[in-house]
Structures are given as C-alpha cells and as structure tokens.
Amino acid sequence: MGEWVVDLLRSGDIVVLRTPPGCAHVVASALDRSRLPRALGTVAGDDTVLVIAEEGSGAELGETLGDLAGYRSDHDKKGSAK
C-alpha cells in the first residue's frame, strides 16, 4: 500500500486514505479482499477511500492501515489524526 496511499487521516471510526488520482478503487478493493480485523468496508472515489471501522476501533484501524502503508504524517506524530 505504500505506493498507493499518499495521506491518511482519521475521524472517529472512519479512516480516510488519499491516493493518486484514479487509484482509490485499487486500494479499496485490496482492503475489502484482505478482510482486515476491525474494518467493516470501504467506499472509494477517484482519489479517496473511506474505510469504516467497527464502533470504537477507528484509532486501531488507522494505526494498522498506517503501518501497512508505511505512512506517518505530521498529524500522526502529534497524535491528532489518529
């Protein structure tokens, strides 16, 4: 996922993944097929994927997705996005 995810943010139990234009469906499909624990499903646009977490699991799922993508933003370092 490191080549596909360019930004990762979280709001409650929704993790927002930003991708290059035209790539969100590839990431969403891979996540849906992987059956990640805590992930209920995805919604993909052109360059944005919403990953819906089980209630109360958004932070854990955000961390897992960040690890898979090898992604750490300034928000993550400060703890405000996760």
Q: What is the mean pLDDT of residues 16-41?
A: 96
Task: Let me know if residue 82 belongs to a domain.
Answer: no
State residue 73's pLDDT score.
Answer: 54
State residue 36's pLDDT score.
Answer: 95
Q: What is the DSSP letter of 71?
A: -
How many separate domains does the chain show?
1
State residue 71's pLDDT score.
Answer: 75
Taken in order 28, 68, 34, 52, is the CA torsion positive or negative? negative
Task: Let me know if residue 78 belongs to a domain.
Answer: no
Q: Are strands 7-11 and 14-18 parallel, antiparallel or unpaired?
A: antiparallel
Task: Let me know if residue 49 belongs to a domain.
Answer: yes
CATH no. for residue 21?
A: 3.30.1360.40
**Residue 46's domain spans which residues?**
7-72
Structure tokens at 28: 């969403």
Q: How far is CA 46 from the centre of its chain?
A: 15
Per-residue pLDDT tens for 33-71?
999 999 999 999 999 999 999 999 999 999 999 999 987
Ramachandran angles phi, psi of 18, nearest 5° = -105, 140
Task: Let me know if residue 25 belongs to a domain.
Answer: yes
Task: Let me know if residue 80 belongs to a domain.
Answer: no
Task: Let me know if residue 79 belongs to a domain.
Answer: no
